[in-house]
């Protein structure tokens, strides 16, 4: 049975369009990896390329799109450019999306472990990962921790 009309908050067109633009900026696995790193520290294109497993020209193109979407900013120091995530809102969005995706991957791995068993009720052991790996930046001077940024 339907309870009838209730008060509902709606989005105005400008806000809906701006939100869609942000989501379009996030709608790429390499851009999500880049933002994941930039949420933690400011870093250069070459360091980002190594961390996300992409070549520097591709990372530069993704950074251009992320800047256009207002998701990252650049700080120039002499001839070097260092990128960082714009604000905590974007960090929370990315963290929530990554947590949700990691849960889905774990659930799928658990389902696969059960169905890959020998027909008994005993599940096959699966070591589900959170989807987050720790990597060290190559060399020195490529990045600064978020706590030291924009000082």
Within-domain flag for 31 = yes
> 27 is in which domain, residue-wise?
13-116
Within-domain flag for 25 = yes
Within-domain flag for 83 = yes
| pLDDT tens sequence across 4-14 | 678 889 999 99
Within-domain flag for 20 = yes
Q: Lowest-confidence range among 1-5, 33-37, 71-75?
A: 1-5
| pLDDT tens sequence across 10-42 | 999 999 999 998 888 899 999 999 999 999 999
CATH code, 25? 1.10.10.10
Residue 142 has pLDDT above 50, yes or no: no
Within-domain flag for 126 = no
Within-domain flag for 138 = no
Number of domains in the chain: 1
Q: CA nearest 133: which of 65, 51, 77?
A: 51
| pLDDT tens sequence across 80-137 | 999 999 988 888 988 999 999 999 999 888 888 877 655 554 444 333 445 665 554 4
Within-domain flag for 17 = yes
What is the rounded CA–CA span in Å between residue 38 and residue 55? Answer: 17
Within-domain flag for 19 = yes
Count of CB atoms within 10 A of residue 38's CB?
27
Q: CA nearest 86: which of 14, 26, 20, 15?
A: 26
pLDDT of residue 2: 63
């Amino acid at each position: 049975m339907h309870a009838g009309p209730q008060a509902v908050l709606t989005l105005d067109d400008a806000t809906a369009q701006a939100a869609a633009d942000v989501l379009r900026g996030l709608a790429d696995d390499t851009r999500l990896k880049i933002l994941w790193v930039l949420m933690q520290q400011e870093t250069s294109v070459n360091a980002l390329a190594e961390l996300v497993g992409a070549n520097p020209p591709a990372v530069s193109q993704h950074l251009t799109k992320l800047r256009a979407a207002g998701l990252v900013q650049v700080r120039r120091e002499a001839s070097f450019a260092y990128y960082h995530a714009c604000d905590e809102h974007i960090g929370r969005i990315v963290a929530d999306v990554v947590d949700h995706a990691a849960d889905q991957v774990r659930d799928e791995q658990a389902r696969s472990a059960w169905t890959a068993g020998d027909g008994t009720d005993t599940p096959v052991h699966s070591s589900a990962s959170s989807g987050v790996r720790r990597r060290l930046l190559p060399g020195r001077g490529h990045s600064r921790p978020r706590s030291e940024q924009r000082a």
